[in-house]
Amino acid sequence: MTDNNKNHPEAPYPSATSAWFLVALLTIAYVFSFIDRYILGLLIEPIKADLGLTDEQIGLLIGFAFAIFYATMGLPLGWLVDRKRRTWIVAAGVFVWSIATALSGLAKNFWHLFFARMSVGIGEATLSPAAMSMISDSFPPERRGKPVAVYVAALSLGAGLASLIGSVVLTWAKTTEGVDIAGLGTLKPWQLTFFAVGLPGIILAGIFALVREPARRPIEDATIGVEDNSIGSALSYVRKNLGTYAGFISLACVMTIIAYSQQFYAPAFERTWGWPAEKYALVNGIVLLVAGPATVVLSGVVSDRWSQAGMKDAALKLLIIGYLIMLPTAIIPMFMPTPEIAFVFLFVNTAGIGIISAMAVTALLAITPAQIRGQIVALYYMAISMTGLLLGPSTVGSLSTRVFGEADIRYALATVPILYGLIPLLLIPTTYRLYRKQLDRILAAEGSSQPSKS
């Protein structure tokens, strides 16, 4: 790979080996990030017991605390991604979130854990804008679906591995009161878990500090309305195409709202059907590892094949299919008579979420000029993160504590998709029309700049 940050719109793409090596490293980092993000949801009950917290406070820790900087730092970090060495930015982010995750294990009260989770959000905000920028510069448009899907598959891999880790920890917690650590005193199993999943990321940060990155590939066509790679140009481009972005990103926002609300599933299964958290975590981990990555990668393969066959809006069409799968299957499980039947629907729901996760960002890249891609991707993750993290867990927590009662948390979970998902569903025809119009403009501009392909 080329080791510079200059623009090379006509340079050949990196070799397949170099490009896929970078995708593999970025995917591993994403797995680490999601384990560190997801593990808190599986440790809700022991954390509540030791720190004396409510569902509402847990909702704030899962959502608001993480989102404060994960979302708001996105744009300045996206600005850096469009200018500075992206692999170094990722290395710094991995280091920060890994240390912050480990420090979560030292929390003695709500505010200690709040500030630790805030710091995790700061570190993780660096990854996806840099990753999508580098992946886009490593593959031509008609071949981006699969590498983007492989990267996004880390969501399910990370969540699945976190579930399995959580299952082991929760089972172990029933056999021990804690472990004595020199200088730290006696740590409970949930505290040790944060150390175990956080500290290995420091090694990965060191690897990224040594990795080279691909050359940038801007579109040099004035008709798209992007003068340079400044924040002003990025915001202006979004403002001119606000209807297009708002339409299809709203579908992804509903996905993240539902996905983050599901971090309350462990206590919901325990309170509704009597499943201990470790059993839920084990089954959920298996479901995520089987359904998630397979669906995500398959959707990427299908997207590339459809695109190469001439269907340039393949990513958006698959995104809409995923939405139609996800929405009903997020409501139905909470009304099933047994946990086993509930998980049948959750398996399908995981597939729908996986399709949306992969195709939303693929669709975004298709209508975004390369010179502002880091900032636009950052804005995208700001939007879906703020809505998902701020609305998902907090809505469930508030409805559970204040409306339905904490024993009936399943009704709070079933309400979330209805509350947030119906309006974007009704607007899908308009969303498709606006997106297709903008896609045609970008394809014409890319054709006029005539980048070399390999």
**How far is residue 298 from each of residues 119, 149, 251, 305, 445, measured CA to CA in Å?**
34, 8, 20, 11, 29
Q: Which of 126, 63, 57 is nearest to 96 (CA)?
A: 126
**275-280: average pLDDT:** 86
The confidence score (pLDDT) of residue 187 equals 81
Q: How confident is the model at residue 11 (pLDDT cuts 50, 70, 90)?
A: low
CA distance 323 to 310: 23
Residue with the larger pLDDT of the pair 66 and 120 = 120
In 10 A of CB 220, how many CB atoms? 18
**Tokens 């560190």 correspond to what residue?**
36
Q: Backbone phi, then psi, for 418, in 5-degree steps?
A: -70, -45
> Looking at the predicted structure, is the pLDDT value of residue 2 above 60?
no
CA distance 207 to 435: 38
CA distance 416 to 399: 9
Distance in angstroms between the alpha carbons of the first and the last residue of the chain: 14
Q: Which of 201, 280, 203, 190 is nearest to 31 (CA)?
A: 201
Q: Which of 298, 402, 314, 325 is nearest to 363 (CA)?
A: 314
> Looking at the predicted structure, is the pLDDT value of residue 256 above 80?
yes
The confidence score (pLDDT) of residue 415 equals 95
For 16-214+223-446, CATH number out of 1.20.140.10, 1.10.287.3610, 1.10.10.60, 1.20.1250.20 equals 1.20.1250.20
The confidence score (pLDDT) of residue 100 equals 93
Q: Where are the domains of the chain?
A: 16-214+223-446
Among 131-140, 215-224, 232-241, the minimum mean pLDDT is found in 215-224
Is residue 396 within 8 A of residue 255, CB to CB? The reply is no
Q: Which of 228, 226, 214 is nearest to 8 (CA)?
A: 214
61 burial type by CB count under 10 A (0-12 exposed, 13-18 middle, 19+ buried): buried
The confidence score (pLDDT) of residue 453 equals 36
Residue with the larger pLDDT of the pair 449 and 355 = 355
Q: How confident is the model at residue 218 (pLDDT cuts 50, 70, 90)?
A: low
The confidence score (pLDDT) of residue 6 equals 52
The confidence score (pLDDT) of residue 416 equals 95
The confidence score (pLDDT) of residue 396 equals 92
Q: How confident is the model at residue 232 (pLDDT cuts 50, 70, 90)?
A: confident
What is the model's pTM? Answer: 0.73
CA distance 43 to 196: 14
**How far is residue 37 from each of residues 198, 340, 382, 452, measured CA to CA in Å?**
10, 26, 16, 39
209 burial type by CB count under 10 A (0-12 exposed, 13-18 middle, 19+ buried): middle
Mean pLDDT, the chain, as a whole number? 84
Strand partners, 180: 186
The confidence score (pLDDT) of residue 411 equals 94
Q: How confident is the model at residue 55 (pLDDT cuts 50, 70, 90)?
A: confident
Instruction: Give 85-102 pLDDT, tens digit per residue.
Output: 899 999 999 999 999 999
Share of the chain above pLDDT 90, in %: 29
**358-387: average pLDDT:** 83
The confidence score (pLDDT) of residue 229 equals 67
Share of the chain above pLDDT 70, in %: 92
The confidence score (pLDDT) of residue 371 equals 75
Q: How confident is the model at residue 5 (pLDDT cuts 50, 70, 90)?
A: low
Instruction: Give 129-172 pLDDT, tens digit per residue.
Output: 888 888 888 888 778 778 888 887 887 788 788 778 778 877 77
**304-319: average pLDDT:** 89
